[in-house]
Amino acid sequence: MMTPSLNRLYVMTDPLNGSCFCKGVRYQVDCLDMPISHCHCDSCRKVHAAAFVATAGVMREHFRWTQGEALLASFESSPGKLRHFCSRCGSHLMAERGHQPHVIVRVATLDDDPAVRPTAHIWTSHAVPWLAYEGVEQWDEWKN
């Protein structure tokens, strides 16, 4: 497991803002305390309906809800792990284990560019075989 960065490589000069799809729930982080990783675990794949999800650890004191806490819903996806999402639009925003000093932010819900890039793919033992890039067409927008 990655430990929080002590040298603060991920400190931002301004807080980063994040929100759900409907903008009913909003949050801020002062910095990303851990590198961005792409998680391929079965739980993340199912919860996000995606092949993997970009995550980053943020120390609890660097994370705050700024709007819509009453719209938050949660479920325990594995023993001790709570996943928090907007009850109106379903966006999964953050996960946490109560005994850990950090929360796990879903980087795709940030409204601001964190100005750092992913450093790892994790839980690749769960990676799906149909995820491929080589030889697959790419389009800037939906192909008409």
Torsion, CA 123, CA 127, CA 133, CA 134, rounded to 10: 100
Beta bridge partners of 128: none
What tokens does 44 get?
């993340």
User: What is the model's pTM?
Assistant: 0.83
Q: In whole angstroms, how far apart are CA 92 and each of 56, 99, 104, 107?
A: 14, 21, 11, 10
- Chain position carrying tokens 């794949």: 45
Beta bridge partners of 59: 102
Mean pLDDT, to the nearest integer, of 72-97?
96
Query: Residue 19: pLDDT above 90?
Result: yes
Mean pLDDT, to the nearest integer, of 106-121?
95
Distance CA 60, CA 102 (A): 5
Residue 6's pLDDT band (boundaries 50, 70, 90)? very low
Rounded to an integer, what is the distance from CA 107 to the centroid of its chain?
A: 4
Query: Residue 74: pLDDT above 60?
Result: yes
Q: Does domain 11-126 have CATH number 2.170.150.70?
A: yes
Residue 136's pLDDT band (boundaries 50, 70, 90)? confident
Mean pLDDT, to the nearest integer, of 102-121?
95
The domain spans of the chain are 11-126
Query: Residue 67: pLDDT above 80?
Result: yes
Around Cβ 59, how many Cβ atoms within 10 Å?
A: 18
